[in-house]
Structure 1
Amino acid sequence: MALAPGSHDTHKTAADTAAHDEEVRVNTRRAAMSGWIGSALEYYDFALYSQAAALVFPAVFFPEGNASAALIASLATYAVGYVARPVGAIVLGALGDRHGRKRVLVWAMLLMGFSTLAVGLLPTYQQVGLLSPLLLVCLRLVQGFAVAGELGGASAMIVEHAPDEKRGFFASFSLQGTQFGSILATGVMLPLAALLGDETFAAWGWRIPFLLSAGVILAGYLIRRHVQEPPAYLQSRDAKRSVRERFPVVELITRYPLLTLRCILIIFTNVIGMTTLVFGVSYGTNDAYGIGFTSSDMLWVTLIANIVAVCTIPVFGALSDRIGRKIFMIVGTLAGGALSGLYLVAVQSHHLAMVFVMVIIVQGICFQMWNATFATFFQEQFPMRIRVTGFAVTQNIGLMLASFFPTLFTSIAPPGTANVPLVIGATTFVICLISAVATALTAETRGRTLAELETTN
């Protein structure tokens, strides 16, 4: 019996559609897994430094005699890594926009791996004097340059692969990876600090986690070399090759100045993490403040906060696809900022159980409402041709400015200050209020396809 006209074509079209849908699902999962693993490995390196800067670097890389000055100097080297981020964002962002998301992800991971390994090999201040902190600063600059391209490239690749109705959920995996990287870093530091004791840990035990970064160099290449570029990006890149383009950051600043400024201010919500997991750790463990928590105690606090975050991030990411991005970002920012002072009250009271409860609420829940959502929100604000640059530049300029908050906190509430939780808590809330206002003034993007966003942008 003869087939009805067009029946064969209809069958073929349905099969092709099913095959295409399956390919989209596979590529989306692959991109999400690449973003998760890559971010985990790279932020393992970055988290190691922030923990070591608060716990051991003041005694290892700076002269003895003034504990407050050494702590401020150590936290300043933590901030130096963020100073290099805008430069890395411009260079790596352009690489990602012009030559591919995949390429920038591989380069970022390799640079991070080599620089972190080198930190573990540095001589101490007692061995080489001022050369020691100088080398530390140089490697921190390389770290900051490298990490600037990670999240922008990873989340762009995921967003451009993912179905429109699930962009928030899938893009949250790269943020979940950053939290797991912090867990991994703490999971390595914690047993070493507990087993070796503070003196031995400060003498040489802290180097072990940095030396383990050698594995990142190999893993970065193996994991990411097989990831496919998003088809939409390849089509866009091929279509514009014949058109003379401005350098991505130039277009970003000249065509989107107000959006750029708002996104930078939105990033200030990171002050919540810097209040709790950077300044809070120093406040609880540094002898000059006299609180009396051990390094092991505060590492457990950091570990629990990040474990909770791993669980909450995909939940908030998925909910942002249904409810909206802005509501979670605003509520998380204001609630986290308001409760940060209470977290410091718990630290000041030397009540470890209450510290755990407050860090779970502030860092594990409130901050993750914002953290799980902002990457998708930012990626949706910029057109594909400058998407990595737009995300990377605004995120990293914001983080560069925010990175000085722990040093600011130590300066306005130094050891001996009686009202540390009030001073730092109020400052944190004001900064969060600025971020929330900037979010409220930025357009909601949930429910719109990438094609619609492209024509709007």
Structure 2
Amino acid sequence: MSEQAVRYQTKQAGLAALIGTVLEWYDFLIYGAAAAMVLNKVFFPSIDPLMGTLAAFGTYAVGFLSRPLGGLILGHLGDRVGRKEVLILTLFLMGGATTAIGLLPTYDQIGIMAPIALVILRLIQGFGAGGEYAGAVVLSVEHAKPGKRGLAGSWAPMGFSAATLLANVVFFSCLSIMGEQVFVDWGWRIPFILGAVCVLVGYFIRRHIVEPPAFEKAKAAREQSSKRIGIFSAIKRHPREVLIVIGTRMGENGFAYFYPVFIMAYLTTGLGFPKSTALWGVIAACMLQLIAMPAFGMLSDKIGRKPVYIGGTILSMLWLIPFFLICGTGSFWAIILGFVVGLGIAYPAMMSPQASWYAELFDTDFRLSGFAFSRELGSILAGGLAPFICTALYSWSGHWWPIVVYMCVLGVITLVALAMGPETVHKNIEDNHQTITQ
């Protein structure tokens, strides 16, 4: 392949990772925004407001339960068949489930079957999400040149940021235009039904990408040796790396859902702020993330993945108490500043270098399955439970200090796991030294 063709495919892979991730994670994140504002009323109307929020976050967490299974199965499929096929499949899984949520009858219409159907669709969403993010990162990193993998890996995290921005802008716009009562009655369905549009646009973008050279090389080697990769091969070959990924996910993923999900509910239900306050905070932070993600990715190419990751984790922990004190002032602009620092600066310093680091930890034969499974297993223990646990702690204590302790525990686990992991910035990812021998 010519140098020009290589550059073209690198850009195509980055664009596919960015836009595809925006569209798919819009599907997944739109539930987080809805859980804090609407679904507690629509699907759990007979419960008091705080308990209704807990129930909505409980179904939110359910979406994370199927993510490791999706990571294992879809990741295995991606390592055997191809990255592209998996990324197209995840489009239909996540987008279809999201659209179906928008069409669900409410509790008042069909009773207990409404939250049951909601749980099933969240499980399907989670299964697709299990292979989506890792597939997008692996595709872009494997297409990137050495010395540029940190920047290339940041395309998918940028997509996650843009998806968070898009999901909240859509919700805020619908809420502002319709008014709260109309929005709760039926307007909340519109952001979910737009998931169908995400599927079509994402498919058009991803159908044109090609498989990375590293994957083609590994696949050819497997075909010559007539050896097959088992579904649990990644765990058997890379047990240490799996544990490192799970550990380092604790802080990053916990903070990923702490601000846009729990804090949104905390400000509105707990402190009585207008819903628009938290939405504007998330929107401002996500706008900054679009700059911070590639900046931290490039920084990790220069000084290494781990130093940037460690810095982001420490800053996230140190900002917790100032953030809650800021919330207590009641100042709109102070709260916006709190979101900007915590979610717009500290969090990207973890998320951006993490992407390329996870891809580099695993060898090509096991890269997608190892990355996806271990990352999504960490998602259950961190992001999936964080909003629920934080809400329960606040309900129990009536104060934010237990939440600070809980989030700092997640951060400490991440720092310990980072200390155990290798620096991979100079690793040759095409050197697939873990050859299949069984």
TM-score class normalised by the smaller sequence: over 0.9
Match of 1:11 in 2: none
Distance 1:366 1:217 in 2: 31
Percent of aligned positions with the same letter in both sequences? 35
Distance 2:329 2:107 in 1: 34
Structure 2 residue 51 is the aligned partner of structure 1 residue 69: yes
Summarize deviations over 1:420-442 as a string: whole Å, max 9, x none: 2x221121112101111101210
Distance 1:441 1:159 in 2: 23
The Cα shift of 1:160 comes to 1.1
Match of 2:418 among 439, 442, 449: 439
Match of 2:14 in 1: 32
Structure 2 counterpart SS, 1:228? coil
The Cα shift of 1:351 comes to 2.1
Structure 2 residue 168 is the aligned partner of structure 1 residue 186: yes
Mapping for residues 408-447 of structure 1, pairs under 5 Å: 408-414=389-395, 417-420=397-400, 422-447=401-426
Distance 1:105 1:74 in 2: 29
Structure 2 residue 338 is the aligned partner of structure 1 residue 338: no
Match of 1:371 among 319, 341, 351: 351
Distance 1:326 1:65 in 2: 45
Contact 2:364 2:430 in 1 (8 A): no
Structure 2 residue 437 is the aligned partner of structure 1 residue 455: no
Match of 1:217 among 185, 199, 223: 199
Distance 1:100 1:331 in 2: 35
Letter in 2 for 1:407: F
Contact 1:276 1:344 in 2 (8 A): no
Summarize deviations over 1:84-137 as a string: whole Å, max 9, x none: 101101110011000000000000011111110011111111111101101111
Distance 1:42 1:146 in 2: 9
Mapping for residues 95-110 of structure 1, pairs under 5 Å: 95-110=77-92
The Cα shift of 1:344 comes to 2.5
| TM-score, length of structure 1 as denominator length | 0.92
CA RMSD of aligned residues (A): 1.5
Distance 2:168 2:387 in 1: 20
Question: Quick check: 404-413 or 117-126, which moved more?
Answer: 404-413
Match of 2:260 among 261, 265, 277: 277
Structure 2 counterpart SS, 1:449? coil
Distance 1:344 1:109 in 2: 37
Distance 1:183 1:148 in 2: 21
Summarize deviations over 1:240-271 as a string: whole Å, max 9, x none: 024323414x2222222222111101011211
Structure 2 residue 229 is the aligned partner of structure 1 residue 243: no
Mapping for residues 195-344 of structure 1, pairs under 5 Å: 195-241=177-223, 242-248=225-231, 250-269=232-251, 270-286=253-269, 289=270, 291-344=271-324
The Cα shift of 1:178 comes to 1.2
Distance 1:292 1:418 in 2: 14
Contact 2:23 2:199 in 1 (8 A): no
The Cα shift of 1:292 comes to 1.4
Structure 2 counterpart SS, 1:63? coil
The Cα shift of 1:311 comes to 1.1
Question: Quick check: 212-221 or 97-106, which moved more?
Answer: 212-221
Contact 1:108 1:147 in 2 (8 A): yes
Match of 1:405 in 2: 386
The Cα shift of 1:456 comes to 7.5
Letter in 2 for 1:440: A
Any gaps of 5 or more consecutive residues in structure 1?
A: 1-18
Any gaps of 5 or more consecutive residues in structure 2?
A: none
Distance 1:140 1:216 in 2: 17
Match of 2:330 in 1: 350
Distance 1:451 1:274 in 2: 34
Distance 2:185 2:276 in 1: 16
Distance 1:143 1:84 in 2: 8
Distance 2:274 2:134 in 1: 36
Letter in 2 for 1:302: V
Contact 2:95 2:195 in 1 (8 A): yes
Match of 2:364 among 384, 391, 397: 384
